[in-house]
Chain A
């Protein structure tokens, strides 16, 4: 049992924090959001220059060979600065699918491009009917010779509007809700049979809904095994969930700090309002939730790559549940303690609160996680997924 960071990890955390402090002002973010931009190219290139886009990937692909802890450190910093850039979408979700389930040749082509910032990807999994249920995939992929033809709808594709390619889950057999029969495909966003609409989320990030109207892809576009993508999708979702937990800790730490500052400076009845015990205790309760949330983000980071599927699930689900709940409390109280000022669009605190609220919903809110947690069964293992070899054309 050891909670200390290695020197390398500490350097990673310091370097991303320094970069964002220098290059990611709240004003820059505000302008980007107001002008309906999903990201800043300069920021993305800056993150690439620091090696941040390769944190989870192997060194042979130009990555950092990091695990859950390294991802946690980066995500926490992104949370502190309320970064809207599609790090989760490209690096953790789509990159994670390729990293965990892609064939060696796919990794060799795609991962270095993610790492150097030249390739943006998005993970198109959820659908209008799926709510939080990962297995609810209704989009169909029908075989047509060696090719596949995709029909269906995908919603809330994070970072989708700036992506060059989507990783789309589709049913190659079975019915929505079945654990078997789902396959992942790489789809080019400029495909003429792909329609879509882009829109903002309440936290200022942007998402895409797409309609697949007979999108045709080749056999090389399959990631992972045919019909067997669900365990891979679960792993990817777990990585994303752990990453979101860390991001939430970053977000919470900033608004807690801002709230303390406000309590010490805001004067009412002739004294700083920090003198009032009821407000002190509220600030303490926020602090407790923040520290406990940090413990849970560490737990998720430490277990997200565990070989034991039960331990992995239990840790990630519990962390997301706790952080959903803690995030609501810390966010709501931050607004409350800022009084009317907390309600204004001008102050950053409201924007942080909105990000916490979005994180709660993404990949399942606290109530959903509690239900998942209660349904966990000890010793339950997920089916293994194998990385396929290249499907050479046969003569």
Chain B
């Protein structure tokens, strides 16, 4: 057992760091670190930089563009990117449908779709949840009827993140309503520009537009766009649950936010001294930092096991639960740290052209610049324990598959 990173791993970290210094656009980095609104173009610029370097899909098989890094190297890479202020890449192509096509897609599908995922010329979104099918995903109702060479799709998806950015959607649809409900599900690739597809924004509690409803009315989808066999959609969806799971802990991201929290707590004053010197507040920072250390060690244990060839099992649900707990705790503490300065709602201040002057009459006191997005982030981050399988569903998975309850 050796907790030190090997000289090769340390050299690798340095290589990633140098790349980030050189290629992460400063403007994008600043937006990420200051919690400003990230636009599609910001993500796109960073995606392109990684693509040109050949680092866009570290976890993929080398013949499809992967880097051949092991799980520990991938962890180092993700951590360095997050710490440096790289934006989150869109996961739908890179971490979801890409690996699915590699495992289940036809040769034609692979050659048609994988290049666009790598180059970000084609953006994807995920059509899983429906108004009536949240945690009970297998109850989904969106229908796909085979008519000759096409499927006719009718129904509605919801919570579709960045559907308004997407060119394609991979959808779970019902192709049969007899037998077990899981067995009637198939996966279809649908062009968002097809007649009958309509995207309607959903504005979430912080006031932003990330998610959407996607409606399908008599949408014609070529039968060639079926992934795998008809009726196998559920097992394909489950395959994703065991793919590249260490990233969901968001350790690097949380380290970055912890660093920011300490920065804020050092600036803010409470009771005549910096907030970070307040014993009660620092007690809570200490607790979340220690929780993060424990999570990081667990991630590294899983990554090391993965490197030895053991695929992460349902234990990876731990990483989702604890990772999101910590992310939420950090947004909560950041908001709390700025006190009443969290109150002003200034969404214009999160945008591109904001130069730091506070709007409104001169007597208004919106507080320091860093405080404006913090409440919105706190509200927005309530989503993390809900998406990707609620934390309650994750507990069900562990209870059934790990503890045998």
Contacts and interface: CB of A to CB of B under 8 A. Distances in A.
Given A9-B1, A303-B3, A260 B301 contact: no
A373 B21 CA distance: 31
B405 A299 contact: no
B102 interface: no
Contacts of A301: 1
A287 B405 CA distance: 12
A39 to B, nearest CB: 30
A287 B322 CA distance: 12
B283 interface: yes
Interface stretch (A104-112, A204-212, A290-298): A290-298
Interface string A13-46: 0000000000000000000000000000000000
A281 to B, nearest CB: 4
B137 to A, nearest CB: 18
A291 B318 contact: yes
Interface in A57-82: 69
A3 interface: yes
Indicate the member of B3, B279, B404 with the most A CB atoms within 10 Å: B3
Contact of B286 (A292, A293, A373): A373
A266 B300 CA distance: 37
B297 A264 contact: no
B290 A373 contact: yes
A263 B318 CA distance: 21
A321 B399 contact: no
B392 A260 contact: no
Given A1-B304, A299-B297, A367-B283, A280 B3 contact: no
Contacts of B9: 1
Contacts of B395: 280-281, 284-285
A260 B405 CA distance: 8
Nearest to B300: A1
Interface of B is mostly: helix
Nearest to B297: A295
User: Chain B interface residue count: which class?
Assistant: 35 or more
Interface residues of A, number: 41
Given A1-B300, A3-B304, A370-B290, A69 B1 contact: yes
Contacts of B400: 280
Nearest to B285: A374
Contacts of B300: 1, 3
A298 B296 CA distance: 12
Contact of B405 (A263, A303, A325): A263
Nearest to A314: B293
B3 A1 contact: yes
B283 A370 contact: yes
A284 B403 contact: yes
A324 to B, nearest CB: 10
A303 B321 CA distance: 27
Contacts of B298: 291-292, 295
Given A291-B315, A292-B294, A318-B290, A5 B399 contact: no
A52 interface: no
A146 interface: no
Given A1-B3, A3-B1, A287-B402, A370 B396 contact: no
Nearest to A6: B1
B405 A280 contact: yes
A302 B4 CA distance: 9
B363 interface: no
Contacts of B191: none
Contacts of A293: 294
A2 interface: yes
Interface in B72-103: 72
A322 B290 contact: yes
Interface in A263-281: 263-264, 274-275, 277, 279-281
28 contacts: A1-B5, A1-B9, A2-B1, A4-B304, A69-B1, A260-B404, A260-B405, A263-B405, A277-B396, A280-B396, A280-B400, A280-B405, A287-B398, A288-B398, A292-B294, A292-B295, A298-B301, A299-B294, A301-B1, A302-B2, A303-B3, A318-B294, A321-B290, A322-B291, A371-B286, A373-B289, A374-B279, A374-B286
Interface of B: 1-6, 9, 72, 279, 282-283, 285-287, 289-291, 293-295, 297-298, 300-301, 303-305, 308, 315, 318, 321-322, 392, 395-396, 398-400, 402-405
Given A280-B403, A281-B392, 17 more contacts: A1-B3, A1-B304, A3-B301, A5-B1, A292-B295, A293-B294, A295-B294, A298-B1, A299-B297, A302-B3, A321-B287, A322-B290, A322-B291, A367-B283, A370-B286, A371-B286, A374-B283
Interface of A: 1-6, 9, 69, 260, 263-264, 274-275, 277, 279-281, 283-285, 287-288, 291-293, 295-296, 298-299, 301-303, 318, 321-322, 325, 367, 370-371, 373-374
